[in-house]
Amino acid sequence: DAKTTQPNSMESNEEEPVHLPCNHSTISGTDYIHWYRQLPSQGPEYVIHGLTSNVNNRMASLAIAEDRKSSTLILHRATLRDAAVYYCILRQYGGSQGNLIFGKGTKLSVKP
């Protein structure tokens, strides 16, 4: 699986939007972009994934660059509960094995 690059940490104010960037310049055509987050003292939690088009769900939005070499996870209104480590992961579909390869992620702090 290709590597991703994320900032080590970011800060946000409560109720403001948050844009978490991820660079994946070596992405291949069959790689999906996944985001997971890990709240303190919990296991990781699936957030969203996409291939080429922007995606929205109840938790967040995923904006994917036209060349697919970068993407941005958007939390529309950050809450204190969104303070977590956010992982951007590339997953290649088509094979029989789909383990997740985690980097260090971005630690998001949310200030009241």
Q: How far is the CB of 87 from other proteins (least distance, A)?
A: 6
Instruction: Examine residue 7 and tell whether it contacts other proteins (CB under 8 A).
Output: no
Q: Closest CB to other proteins among 29 and 43?
A: 43
The Cα–Cα gap between 89 and 19 comes to: 16
Distance CA 36, CA 74 (A): 13
Q: What is the four-CA torsion angle of 56, 60, 65, 69, rounded to 10 degrees?
A: -130
Question: Does 81 contact other proteins by CB under 8 A?
Answer: no
Using CB under 8 A as the binding criterion, the count of chain residues that bind other proteins stands at 22
Q: Using CB atoms within 10 Å of the CB of residue 10, give its burial: 0 to 12 exposed, 13 to 18 middle, 19+ buried.
A: middle
Cβ–Cβ < 8 Å for 111, 15? no
Q: Which stretch binds other proteins (CB under 8 A): 12-20, 22-30, 62-70, 91-99?
A: 91-99
x/- mask, other proteins, residues 30-69, rule CB under 8 A, reads: -----------xxxxxx--x--------------------
What residues make contact with other proteins under the rule CB under 8 A? 41-46, 49, 85, 87, 91, 93, 95-105
